[in-house]
Amino acid sequence: MKIGILTGGGDCGGLNAVIKSIVWKGINEYGHEFIGFEDGWKGAVENIARPLEIDDVIDIMPEGGTMLGSSRTNPFNPRHGPEKVEETFEEQDLDAMIVIGGDDTLGAADKFYERGLNVVGVPKTMDNDLRCTDMTFGFMSAIQAATDHLDRLRTTACSHHRVIIYEIFGRYAGWAGDADFIMIPEKEYSIDDVCHYLEKRREKGKEYALVVVAEGATTTEMEEMMAQDEETDEYGHVVLGGIGDYLAEEIEEKMDWETRYIQPRHIVRGGSPTAYDRVLSSRYGLMAIDLVEEENFGKMPALQGQDIVPVDLSEAVAEIKQVPLDFYEDAEYLFG
Ligand code: F6P
């Protein structure tokens, strides 16, 4: 078979390990031929691809990012048109395509499967917000980076008796955090809730605090302000209002407590994958190529317990996986 591979959406640790395991098993065990599309769906729309051989992938597992490049191009955006990808599929004489991505990239993969292309997906995202799988690769690497930052921030917050607000990626789901107070998009807060927790900590004699806030979290007061002035970006996402900055100002004013605001953004997403992500992404890659071999299309490998199992792409992209509130309550119990 001739198989195309692409990586779409925000990059994360483990993408290269998936590519390696697919190409490794696909060539060594099944004798398939591979091409890699450049920059996600953009390469498939514009038919920009290169052959992938064992030599290209042999050493890439520990490397962060993606050797194929990535973009946020969605082929169903009227500016591009899905027909372009279908033409590429024919021109390249492809038998199948393996699409590695998060909800947006895999949402497009699922639509192509519905339109008749032989597609298998692989679940990637540092946000861990894809359904049907216990874990997307990239998440553990990002969480480890964030934890290292928080350990460093704790010592400087302590020396300077400050509240440090750490605003981390996560538009719709807040799976991250190890702090004295955590704010996630799934929950409602008012600025008084935040101050209440911090005051309880101060009463215990603690003169510093760490607040971790997902970029998609808001307070009721902030939502009211945003409702008057809602803006969307080129992908149709609501432009978020800078929750970390807002919290830092409000806490400083309301509590007379010095604050600092940190936004690590892509620093948490970049870099080498952790051991966990190398193993998980390799296992996903091995099952993805088996699914192609079995012609079991419209599926993606998923982690359920200890097992990697095939699930329907349509199920996985039906909606975002959010944090169950009882998980949050466990964290909340330890706040302060
Ligand atoms: O890929 C997911 C993500 O990391 C989100 O958590 C974040 O909101 C977004 O990507 C940032 O996107 P970009 O890299 O396009 O700035």
The ligand 1 atom nearest the CA atom of 72: 15
Closest protein CA for atom 15 of ligand 1: 10
CA within 13 Å, CB half, 102: 21
Closest protein CA for atom 2 of ligand 1: 10
The ligand 1 atom nearest the CA atom of 266: 14
- Does a structural domain hold residue 297? yes
Residues 89 and 162 in one domain: no
- Does a structural domain hold residue 321? no
Closest protein CA for atom 4 of ligand 1: 10
193-225 pLDDT tens trace? 999 999 999 999 999 999 999 999 999 988 887
- Does a structural domain hold residue 25? yes
Residues with a known catalytic role: 127
The ligand 1 atom nearest the CA atom of 9: 1
State which residues form the domain around 249: 142-269
148-199 pLDDT tens trace? 999 999 999 999 999 999 999 987 666 655 689 999 999 999 999 999 999 9
Residues 198 and 72 in one domain: no
The pLDDT > 90 percentage for the chain reads: 84
What is residue 211's DSSP assignment?
E
Instruction: Please tell me the distance between residue 159's alpha carbon and the centre of ligand 1 in angstroms.
Output: 32
43-91 pLDDT tens trace? 999 999 999 999 999 999 999 999 999 999 999 998 888 999 999 999 9
Residues 51 and 117 in one domain: yes
In whole angstroms, give the CA distance from residue 263 to residue 126: 16
Higher pLDDT, 264 or 231: 264
CA within 13 Å, CB half, 264: 23
Whether the ipTM is more than 0.90: the answer is yes
Residues 291 and 148 in one domain: no
Domains of the chain: total: 2
Residues 185 and 163 in one domain: yes
Whether the CB-CB separation of 40 and 8 falls below 8 Å is answered with yes
Instruction: Please tell me the distance between residue 257's alpha carbon and the centre of ligand 1 in angstroms.
Output: 31
Band of residue 242 on the pLDDT scale cut at 50, 70, 90: confident
- Does a structural domain hold residue 334? no
pLDDT(38) > 80: yes
Residues 86 and 235 in one domain: no
Higher pLDDT, 90 or 328: 90
Residues 132 and 277 in one domain: yes
Residues 119 and 164 in one domain: no
In whole angstroms, give the CA distance from residue 30 to residue 330: 47
Pocket of ligand 1 (CB under 6 A): 9-10, 72, 102, 125-127, 169-171, 269
CATH of the domain at 191: 3.40.50.460
Query: Measured in whole angstroms, how far is the alpha carbon of residue 224 from the centre of its chain?
Result: 28
Residues 120 and 58 in one domain: yes
Question: What pLDDT sits at residue 231?
Answer: 65
Q: Which long-range contacts (CB under 8 A, 24 or more apart) does 293-299 make?
A: 293/1, 293/30, 295/118, 296/120, 297/96, 297/113, 297/118, 297/119, 297/120, 298/110, 298/113, 298/114, 298/119, 298/120, 299/120, 299/121
Residues 263 and 311 in one domain: no
This prediction has a pTM of 0.93
